[in-house]
Structure formats: C-alpha cells, structure tokens
Amino acid sequence: MSFRRYLPTVLDANGREERMRTLDDDALRAEAATLGLRTGEKRLLREETARYLAVAREAATRTVGLRPFDEQLLGCCGLLSGHAVEMDTGEGKTLVGALAAAGFALAGRRAHVLSVNDYLAERDAAWMGPFFDLLGVSVGWIGQHTPHDDRRNAYACDVVYAPVSEVGFDMLRDRFTVTPGERVAPLFDAVVVDEVDAVMIDEAMVPLVLAGSAEHMADEFDHATALVEALVPEEDFTIDADQATVSLTDDGLDRLEAKLGGINLYDTEHLGMFTRINLALHARVLVHRDVDYLVTDGKISLINTTRGRVAHLQRWPDGLHAALEAKEHLPASAAGVILDQITIQDLLLQYETRAGMSGTVTAVAEELLEFYRLPAGRVERHEPNRRIDAPDTIVLTEDEKIAAIVHDVTARHQAGQPVLVGTQSVSESEALAARPDAAGVPVRVLNAKNDAQEAEIVARAGEYGAVTISTQMSGRGTDIKLGGPDGRDRERVAGTGGLAVIATGRYPSRRLDAQLRGRSGRQGDPGISRAFLSVEDDLIQLHATGRMLTRIAREQDTLPTATRQKIADQCQSIAEGLRTDRHRATWVYNRAIAAQRTTVLAHREEIIDSTVADERVEALIAEHWEQLVSACGLDPVSQTTRAVALFFVDEQWVLHLTTLQEIRDGIHLRALGGEKPADEFHRLALREFHGFFDRTYQQTADFIAALSSADIGRDLTELGLRRPSATWTYMVTDDPYGNPGDRFIRRIGKFVRSKVLNLE
C-alpha cells in the first residue's frame, strides 16, 4: 500500500496553507478546536483531515521550525487511519508521530506514543512540547524513574510519550491495586508505536513481569558452578553444531556423580542438583559475556541483541540468571514469585486503534496483519535515494573478512569519507576498533557499554574522516548529518561520496540490515553501503544445511561468488523463518493464558465495583455473615470481605500461572504420543482453570467464618494475609538456549535423522 488515496487530502491541505499562515496563535488554536476530525477509520474524512493537516503544518513550522513535507503528511494520514507506515531513516518520523498523536487528541482520543527507551520518550515529548501546546493539546512523558503521582498526571494528558515496557508495568501494577485511587490508570485508546516492527514483531512475545518477594532465596549455584568449571570440553560435555544445546557425556556424568559422593543424579531427590548443574553448564558454555550480557556495577546486564544496547530491567528466568551470577562470582539477586505477566503483543492488543512507523515495515506486513490486524504501507522518500548499495563481499574465513574491512575503512578514512561500521556484538565492536586504532586511525565506539553517549556519537558520525564502530543501529533515534551535527562541512563530506556504511556480516533479519544501510543516503544525500561476510559467520554456520557446508568445504576458494551469495541469502531466510515460527508457536500457547487473564481481571473489577463478593460469601456462610453484619454493620463487613476476596483472587491467579508454566515446560512430551502439544496445552489450561472462582470464594468464606466481630476492619496483614513486602518489574528475555521443549524435539529429530534414517 502506498497511501496514495490520501494524496488528494494532502493537496487540499496545501491549498489551505496560505490562510493558516495569516492566523495568529490564538486563532490557529481556535481553528484546531473546531475540527470534526475522525480517526481510526481506513477512509478518513477528506475535508476535516485536510483542515487538520494544514493547521498542524503551520503549528509545527512556528514552534519547532520544521515544515512537514507532503510525504510526512501522507504518513500522518496513514497513522490516523490505523496503519503501520514505512518511512526511510532520516525522513522525519518523530515529527510524523507527533502530528498523528495531536490529531488523535483533537479527535477526542487519548494517544500514547510508545518508544523503545526512556531517552527517546523524554526527548520527543520535550522537543514536540511547544507544537502540542500551540494546538491546545496536553502532553506528558513517563520513564523508568517517574514517581507514582507524576505517572497519574502524565496518563491524564491527551498525549503520553513512554517506553512500551513502562506502560505494561503500570498496567500490571494497577492490576494489584485494591482501590481506584491507587491506580495510575493508563487508558488504552490510540497508540503510535515507534520502531513498530522491532516492538510488535521482534519483541512481541517478551513477557513483562510483575514479581513479588518470596520467602525462599535464589537457588544456590556456587557448588554447581564449581563442579562445571572443572569439566573438560569434548570429554565431559559436547555442544551441538547449532550452538544451542550443551549435553553431558556419560564420562562427564560419571565424573560429577563421583565428586558428589557416588549419587545417582537421576534420582528424584537429586534432580534439583542435576538441574543446577545443567543450568551452570549452559551459563558457562552458551551464554557469553560482552555478547549476551555485560557485568556492570556488580550486576548482570543483559544486551538486547537486536538493538546492541543494555536491556534495562530485563533478566533471564531465575535459574539461569542465578547461574550466570555464580559464573561471574557475583552475589545472587533475590528470587521472586511471578504475580502476573503479559506479553508485549497482548499489551498492544489492548488499544482500540493501533498504528506505528519504522524504516522497515513492509517486510513484516503479513505478520502485522496476522497478529495485530494492522495493515501496512509505505511512504516514498521526499528526495530520491542516491545511496549506492554495493554487492556483498563474501570470503572464507573470519581473518580474511576482518582484514578486508580494516583495509576498506582505512582507505576511506584517508580520503576523508566518514565511515559507520555496524557490528554484531559488543565484543566484536571492541575487537574491530582496536585494529584501525592501532594503525593510527581514530575510532569512536558505540555499544552497550557507553550507550549513554549514543546521541553525540551517532550525530558526529557524519564528520569529515570520522570512523564510528557501532552495534545494531535500530532505534537509535538520531540522524547522521553529513558534515556533523551542524552540517557546516556538508559539501566537503559530500564530495568524498557521503557516509559509507559497512556491515561486518548479515543480521538474522534483512530488516536489521536495512536499518543499518538506511543510515546512509539520508534525504537525498550521497552515500554507499556494503557488507563483508565470511562463511564462518554464525548466520551461515548455524543455518546452513549439511549440503551447503559440504560444498563450502569441498570447493573452498573456487566456490563461485554467485553461490556464496545464494548460500548467505538462504541462511538469512531460514533464520527469519525460524523466528516467525517461534512467534507463531508462542502466540498459540499464550491465547489460553490471555483469555483467562481477561476473565480474572474483569471479575476482579466486579469485586471492587459491586457487591458480588458479599453475595457469594453470604451464600456460603449465611449464619456467621448475618452475625457479623448485626454486630458491625454492613459496610465494614463488606469492605473486609471485598479485601479478602481480592487477596484470594490474586493468590489463586499466582498459583494458576505457576501451574500453567509447569504444564508448558513438559507439554512437548505430548508430541511423542502423536498429540498436538498446543491443543493439549489449551485443554489442560481449561481444566486447571475450571472452578477458579469457586475455590476463591470458598477460601474467602472460610477465612471470614474464622473472624470475630473484633477482626472486622482490621488490616489484612494483622489478620495473617500478607501480600509481597516488595514488588519489582522486569522483562524475561528469550531463553538463549531455547526452551526445554524446543531442545527436546530438536534432539529427538537429530536422533531420528542420524540413527533411523541415516541422513546425518
């Protein structure tokens, strides 16, 4: 979709531009207040939308010094009508998002503009603040450290800028409040998602978690870690070719059991230790420092590999996280019980109208439609693309690749051409930076270790002769201008060929490659992009078929360039297909949980807003209920009953989540019996949920029946019902070595192929 159907509306807006220019600020604000704008409909009202676009263009010109191009107005129409909009890097998506958010607000809607981090939320809200103010639209922003009352005030604004995770965490915290006054109350009306493909597709199934303090401490991993550190590769454990699974050998198992006093680790009483050993082994072998995580300030900090920066508030499941802490000899962080959780996908499905923007949308258009019912389209560039995308250079070894990259970077630097090198990890960025630096070429490095300085580093990447080495550029939110931030040296830099973008390999997604390429050739600038690959790259080694690898090994240097290119393309397609399949499978499992969560939350609201708890409890303990009411009055008894019922609803939900996770961990075994694991999971989830509210009210009634009139009105803690003394939020990252089911099925498949079918 090209959004050309909105072109007549934009042309109408152009015809009104001169009139809007003659209005003073008050008159322009009054014009905005009289709009009869409608949003969220695939066909926007032409006249009213054109009036809005003309008003908004003039307001933006006056306040932030940016006159929106026609293409930006087209993008605004796409967002207002509920689409995902593709606009290339440098085409001004921040302004387009503000135009759409103000349009939603002037149509009487509440709008959230969701970004990927606190920095962008605060920056964009402050930057666009004068624009919103001129239109009479209130705006606020929320970040990780925003206090409770400030959050409430921000959510009361017409437009709220926030990281997507913070909105989810606020929703989860509100879910455990007892009175309306405790809530910050985000309203899920209209949403504009920045980097829509990364948020809605790449991070869609990341659970946002609300955890509560638990009485038990994290599992003790020091002993298991010490045992694992003494194991010898190949002798005691082996790693699968796909680097996703590590397994103890028979000798390794015997060695461990002997060190533990001759026990059998498969005995039920020792399964806890066996689990800790396996987790410690995974932590040692498969999860890598400066690739998957950093150690900062005595804590494990996860790296978001799709963004190349620290994933704040993310952690792995408790067992693996504790194993990593033991591996790095760090104190164990507190274990907790999961009180509630929601995936980013289910969070975004709460909104009435969904829209979003990114430089790489059309590649995932089918998935956006499948998972969100969100149609997508593209807005073409304001200026023609002058960037030259050179063919990939594909060599055999990593050493050859690095040498070629360093040679290319050095030559361009000597010619004064600015170079941006995109790497795959923190460790790669630092190792690569050392090579040209040693040759006298000054290098700036941007990765998860210094992403606080990212705006300055990215902005200066277009300076004459600059060499910048960075991890993934997706969501960086800062343009690279030729000649530096002020563009003073633009013509000199343009004369060198513009910004050169060099990739040190292919990402598992073509969209991430496009995000990096898109940093060059901004708004008609000259530029060049090229990628250097080796057949030793993880993308090829992990996804190439046996036949591909055999041919590479056999032909070596004589392997034709076209064949190398075809292998790289196929491996990238396989990686993309695996991600989509994983998303689809996880989505299926989450449907039952999401439906049950909705039911529980609706009933919880009913308890707060009605007398349902009174009625259910009175029916179970009529005589004692009447005695309490007679002694204390209806209102105090009702308040205590409501509080107790809410406590047991929440407790039942926590137990139910734990049960469902246990079922999910073992559901893969159903495949061996010819059953469909997803169907069986849904059946078991329904069975476990049956009687949920009956159990809740029986517990409530039993508790109330044990109370005397003197207990009515007392705090629940005094009565022995203790909620967690502390709660915290985090995101559970994808398990880096796959879930148990995935590994089990993969191992069975490998056994069948090798032992039964003789294919491997």
The secondary structure of 160-209 as a DSSP string is EEEEHHHHHHHHHHHTT-SSGGG------SEEEEETHHIIIIITTTPEEE
**Domain encompassing residue 443:** 386-568
The answer to whether residue 535 is domain-embedded is: yes
Banded pLDDT at 744 (limits 50, 70, 90): very low
Instruction: Kindly calculate the radius of gyration of the chain based on its CA atoms and give it in whole angstroms.
Output: 29
pLDDT at 55: 97
Average pLDDT over residues 139-159: 95
- Assign residue 166 the CATH number of its domain: 3.40.50.300
The answer to whether residue 325 is domain-embedded is: yes
Asked whether residue 351 falls in the same domain as residue 490, the answer is: no
pLDDT at 214: 59
Asked whether residue 361 falls in the same domain as residue 451, the answer is: no
Banded pLDDT at 743 (limits 50, 70, 90): very low
> What is the three-class DSSP state of 486?
coil
The answer to whether residue 606 is domain-embedded is: no
Asked whether residue 653 falls in the same domain as residue 506, the answer is: no
pLDDT at 754: 40
pLDDT at 267: 80
Asked whether residue 259 falls in the same domain as residue 178, the answer is: no
CA 65 to chain centre: 33
Candidate from 38-52, 430-444, 551-565 with smallest mean pLDDT: 430-444
Is residue 140 a contact partner of residue 92, using CB atoms and an 8 Å limit? no
Banded pLDDT at 426 (limits 50, 70, 90): confident
Domain boundary among 502, 534, 568: 568
The answer to whether residue 67 is domain-embedded is: yes
Tell me which H or E stretch contains 543: helix 538-543
pLDDT at 272 over 80: no
The answer to whether residue 603 is domain-embedded is: no
Task: Give the predicted TM-score (pTM) of the model.
Answer: 0.83
Asked whether residue 198 falls in the same domain as residue 59, the answer is: yes
Is residue 544 a contact partner of residue 514, using CB atoms and an 8 Å limit? no
* Dist. CA 580–CA 576, nearest whole Å: 6
What is the per-residue pLDDT across 326-378, written as a single tens digit (0 to 9) for each?
Answer: 888 888 776 667 888 899 999 999 999 999 999 999 999 999 999 999 999 99
* Dist. CA 466–CA 476, nearest whole Å: 18
Pick from 380, 351, 90: nearest CA to 199: 351
Domain boundary among 334, 367, 401: 334
pLDDT at 264: 87
> What is the three-class DSSP state of 337?
strand
Q: 118 phi and psi, to 5 degrees?
A: -60, -40
* Dist. CA 188–CA 33, nearest whole Å: 23
The secondary structure of 689-732 as a DSSP string is HTTHHHHHHHHHHHHHHT--GGGTT--TTTTT----S-EEEEEE
pLDDT at 65: 96
Matching residue, tokens 């919103």: 132
Asked whether residue 322 falls in the same domain as residue 199, the answer is: no
Banded pLDDT at 661 (limits 50, 70, 90): confident
Asked whether residue 101 falls in the same domain as residue 123, the answer is: yes
* Dist. CA 154–CA 166, nearest whole Å: 12
- Assign residue 718 the CATH number of its domain: 1.10.3060.10
The answer to whether residue 623 is domain-embedded is: yes
Structure tokens at 616: 């259910």
Of 46 and 145, more confident: 46
The answer to whether residue 757 is domain-embedded is: no
Domain boundary among 271, 301, 334: 334
pLDDT at 186 over 50: yes
Pick from 492, 483, 473: nearest CA to 421: 473
pLDDT at 445 over 70: yes
The rounded mean pLDDT for the chain is 86
> What is the three-class DSSP state of 249?
coil
Name, of 43-57, 209-223, 281-295, 721-735, the range with top average pLDDT.
Answer: 43-57
Pick from 217, 282, 205: nearest CA to 247: 282
* Dist. CA 711–CA 729, nearest whole Å: 33
Long-range pairs of 545-548 with CB within 8 A, sequence gap ≥ 24: 546/760
Half-sphere exposure in the Cβ direction for 128 (13 Å, CA): 30
Is residue 95 a contact partner of residue 355, using CB atoms and an 8 Å limit? no
Looking at residue 233, the DSSP 8-state letter turns out to be: B
Matching residue, tokens 């349902």: 612
Is residue 608 a contact partner of residue 180, using CB atoms and an 8 Å limit? yes
Residue type, 388: I
CA 619 to chain centre: 46
pLDDT at 349: 95
pLDDT at 759 over 60: no
Give first-to-last CA distance, the chain, whole Å.
45
Residue 355 pairs in a beta bridge with 192
Is residue 90 a contact partner of residue 523, using CB atoms and an 8 Å limit? yes
pLDDT at 638: 95
Structure tokens at 357: 């923007």
- Assign residue 304 the CATH number of its domain: 3.90.1440.10
Asked whether residue 390 falls in the same domain as residue 307, the answer is: no
pLDDT at 12: 97
pLDDT at 757: 39
Asked whether residue 93 falls in the same domain as residue 236, the answer is: no
* Dist. CA 530–CA 391, nearest whole Å: 6
Asked whether residue 142 falls in the same domain as residue 36, the answer is: yes
Q: 296 phi and psi, to 5 degrees?
A: -130, 130
Asked whether residue 518 falls in the same domain as residue 639, the answer is: no
The domain total for the chain is: 4
Asked whether residue 419 falls in the same domain as residue 513, the answer is: yes
pLDDT at 737 over 60: no
Candidate from 110-124, 200-214, 406-420, 627-641 with smallest mean pLDDT: 200-214
Q: Is the dihedral of CA 54, 60, 65, 66 positive or negative?
A: negative
The answer to whether residue 507 is domain-embedded is: yes
